Structure 1
Amino acid sequence: MSTTIDPADGTLAYDLDRAHVFHSWSAQAALKPFVIAGALGSTLWDYDGKEYLDFSSQLVNMNIGHQHPKVIQAIKDQADIITMVAPPHANLARGEAAQRILARAGSSFGSVFFTNGGADANENAIRMARLTTGRDKVLSTYRSYHGNTGAAVVATGDWRRVPNEYARGHVHFFGPFLYRSEFWAQTPEEECARALHHLERVIQAEGSSSIAAILLESVPGTAGVLVPPPGYLAGVRELCDKYGILLIFDEVMCGFGRTGEWFAFQGFDVVPDLITFAKGVNSGYVPIGGVVISETIAHEFDTQVFPGGLTYSGHPLAAASIVASMDAMADEGIIDNARMIGTDHLGPGLAELAAAHPLIGEVRGMGVFWALDLVSDPATRAPVSAAVIGELKGELMKRGLLPFAADNRIHVVPPCVITPDEVARALAIYDEAFTAVEAV
């Protein structure tokens, strides 16, 4: 922790924020934002010097942890060389970043289109699919989040879509979610088969020749860490091939170590046509995202102009941070650590937590990507209220853990560099917090 923090700076930061900063997804008057003074690894602290385990990874993006020295140094070194190169020109950092990403994506992919973040990555993947197929419609699930730009937010399935439905050609369907099944399924096999049947019927009813792409989060994150049942993603791939539809995997949240793989889809033995990414590729140290493009689709634009671009596409500072982050992840075994933490520590520890606390209806996840589905009644699986989530967040913060909450869930999403000792501390904090809330 820094020894120079001044509580007066925390007061100033809070006052300036409330006076001048407009926050996303919020009614502004009631906000009381948590003020962060600094961070390192999996820990952050406030201006009073109190430390917190960051089990939110901010917005599930701090995969390599806070202030990784190799990434910080790479940004500084690039700043000494050149800080900005316009997209039409070539730049070494940009080229090396694309090379690193393609080396992990697989042999069927040939190029990377860089964006400023995940939402515009999905925008451009949709654009590529429509131009390549000559079709218009994009199918995505109701339990999904794809970003807050024109097409991305309409592709999103949750409540945020409804006041923003200005883009055309979007159709939604239900993906698999056995705990809250839409298909009266009792087993993962039933859920998979019925979800695929439902999807095929939607394709047929919408007219397969009108559908450009199916856009899926490989493991839906904000919707609840919905690990797909065995065979589901492969089944979607088969449907896409059957009807000439392109498959886009949104790996913005689940990619780059979050599930214990470089890309989440690589744990399910299936390959998409386009991959979108952001967040974990450089842990958001400098904003960047992109689309990983298959060789086949890339060649569609050898002579056809791609009608899209961004001023900061492949920004050198961001590109340098990608190179350093991916190299550090490989050299330091960070992907392997995330997988081990999930298998040996978080998975078993959260199962024990669920067994001890009736508020926890289900534990779902893999790697460092987990969700606790909280219920007021284990039999009916009725979700807990927002008030209960608020109480639980308060108890966790009081005990030194920064949580990530969504709807009736607590998402357990620490950095990929989290240690077994830190997980043990966190599990003890969760246990105490649940005990306190259940005692009320």
Structure 2
Amino acid sequence: MTAPQDVRAGRARELDRAHIFHSWSAQAGLDPMTVVTGRGCEVVDEDGRTYLDFSSQLVNLNIGHGHPRVVAAIQEQAGLLATVAPGYANLARGEAAERILSHAPDGFTKVFFTNGGADANENAIRMARLHTGRDKVISFYRSYHGNTGAAIVATGDWRRVPNEYARGHVHVFGPFLYRSEFWASTEAEECERALHHLERVVQAEGPSSVAAILLETVVGTGGVLVPPPGYLPGVREIADRYGIVLILDEVMAGFGRTGSWFALDQHDVVPHLITFAKGVNSGYVPAGGVILSAEISATFDDRVFPGGLTYSGHPLAMASIVAALDAMAEEGVVENAARIGEDVLGPGLRTLAARHPLVGEVRGTGVFWALDLVLDRSTREPVPAAEVVAMRAALAARGLLAFVADNRIHVVPPCVVTDQEVARALAIYDEVLTDAEERLLG
């Protein structure tokens, strides 16, 4: 007999605090919400209260909660074959790779499946090092690439510092005009100077020592930083000039988040390797991978690739990928994300910014946006992170789950979000910004 909902919810909290060790947290003061169920852009907590999920959990729930087609595919595959080692051929695995490659640029031929985005980047780095015979990896300071050995050191934000055990990592500043490191006043200047900075670092490090440049196509957790026109093609030119592998991390930006299948589709660039996870199946079953160009794949035609995972291409994950990508294509989910960003969410956020002095800048594309919060628009002094955390709590109290980082609120709903849901969310953001301004600005 199933226990009543309130008893189960209380038990969930009890077990969590007794036994769960949470990510990126001091453990003693945690009091996590118990999420019981979800559908589309909404979740329900233990008290039966419904919330708009404008965090997409960890910016991965592109198809939304509880999509029936994806759920059914997992159930069907579990009944047929729940698991199989990666050394065997499996139809679900092959079809998942075929679906992914159908959205990749021409010239990409193979997919190496991983358990998520961190080990996708880990293995892409390994491939680049083996392909080039070089060691160093260049990535942005404003970046996050995952929490495994090399991926966390490729990461540029604070999480790298207590974890710097991997070798051969170098960081640069990428383009970010609003908080320019290059004293630029236009996007063109920012692009030119950021590319010059990158090339000078390559030269100073010794081009023959650099295996890869690893970049998020659109920087996610670091601020939703859409690169200026010409930047990514310029990076590819630098990579080609010095025989370096360009890896584009599409873990957060891929599969509809930016309003296209891959974010790179909007930037006239083709890398050597593409990493993915999150939106490929909206995290229904953990999955990620590396999409290999023919050039990189050929390196391992007659040479053993020294990497693998027990759950590489796990059939439940593969079935969820096939169902998710088919549903997204047939239901126009990527097109919806593009339209929402262009016609509804972007204009709505800019209207909020015009009304609220706490918003220094709105930036983004598709369903991938950030509000850069400032105490003073002229100095661009960031709102303290603790105040933004308090705003997240205020948003939740009004029925909206938010993703926050540093001085920013990231507005990242599922790609299936509707105009009406955006309108509800904008009204909640408006209320919380108004209250925060009364507290912070007087």
Q: Calculate the TM-score normalised by the size of structure 1.
A: 0.98
Name the counterpart of 1:140: 139
| Structure 1 residue 10 displacement after superposition | 1.7
Secondary structure, counterpart of 1:52 in structure 2: strand
Name the counterpart of 1:281: 280
Aligned-partner Cα distance in 2 for 1:389–1:223: 15
1:391–1:437: 8 Å Cα contact kept in structure 2? Answer: no
2:62–2:256: 8 Å Cα contact kept in structure 1? Answer: yes
Secondary structure, counterpart of 1:214 in structure 2: strand
2:58 paired with 1:59: yes
| Structure 1 residue 438 displacement after superposition | 1.4
Q: Please list every run of 5 or more consecutive structure 2 residues that lacks an aligned counterpart in the other structure.
A: none
Name the counterpart of 1:193: 192
| Structure 1 residue 172 displacement after superposition | 0.5
Name the counterpart of 1:128: 127
Name the counterpart of 2:209: 210
Aligned-partner Cα distance in 2 for 1:148–1:387: 24
Aligned-partner Cα distance in 1 for 2:265–2:154: 23
Matched letter for residue 209 of structure 1: S
Aligned-partner Cα distance in 1 for 2:4–2:260: 37
Name the counterpart of 1:169: 168
2:385–2:405: 8 Å Cα contact kept in structure 1? Answer: no
Matched letter for residue 154 of structure 1: V
Aligned-partner Cα distance in 1 for 2:389–2:368: 21
Deviations 1:123-181 (A, max 9, x none): 00000000001111100010000000000000000000001001001000000000000
1:5–1:47: 8 Å Cα contact kept in structure 2? Answer: no
Q: Summarize the alignment of residues 29-428 of structure 1 with structure 2, pairs less than 5 Å apart.
A: 29-428=28-427
| Structure 1 residue 432 displacement after superposition | 0.8
Number of residue-to-residue matches in the alignment = 437
Aligned-partner Cα distance in 1 for 2:37–2:87: 37
Aligned-partner Cα distance in 2 for 1:269–1:387: 39
Aligned-partner Cα distance in 2 for 1:204–1:143: 21
| Structure 1 residue 107 displacement after superposition | 1.6
Matched letter for residue 83 of structure 2: M
Report runs of 4+ in structure 1 exceeding 4 Å deviation: none
Matched letter for residue 81 of structure 2: I
Q: Please list every run of 5 or more consecutive structure 1 residues that lacks an aligned counterpart in the other structure.
A: none
Q: Calculate the TM-score normalised by the size of structure 2.
A: 0.98
2:139–2:154: 8 Å Cα contact kept in structure 1? Answer: yes
Matched letter for residue 396 of structure 2: M
| Structure 1 residue 386 displacement after superposition | 2.4
Aligned-partner Cα distance in 2 for 1:67–1:310: 28
Aligned-partner Cα distance in 1 for 2:391–2:8: 28
Secondary structure, counterpart of 2:110 in structure 1: strand
Aligned-partner Cα distance in 1 for 2:407–2:117: 25
Aligned-partner Cα distance in 1 for 2:323–2:288: 16
| Structure 1 residue 277 displacement after superposition | 0.3
Secondary structure, counterpart of 2:43 in structure 1: strand
1:5–1:37: 8 Å Cα contact kept in structure 2? Answer: no
Deviations 1:287-329 (A, max 9, x none): 0100000011101101000000000000000000000000000
Secondary structure, counterpart of 1:37 in structure 2: strand
| Structure 1 residue 193 displacement after superposition | 0.3
Matched letter for residue 428 of structure 2: I
| Structure 1 residue 5 displacement after superposition | 6.8
Matched letter for residue 270 of structure 2: V
Matched letter for residue 260 of structure 1: G
Aligned-partner Cα distance in 2 for 1:335–1:123: 28
Matched letter for residue 425 of structure 1: R
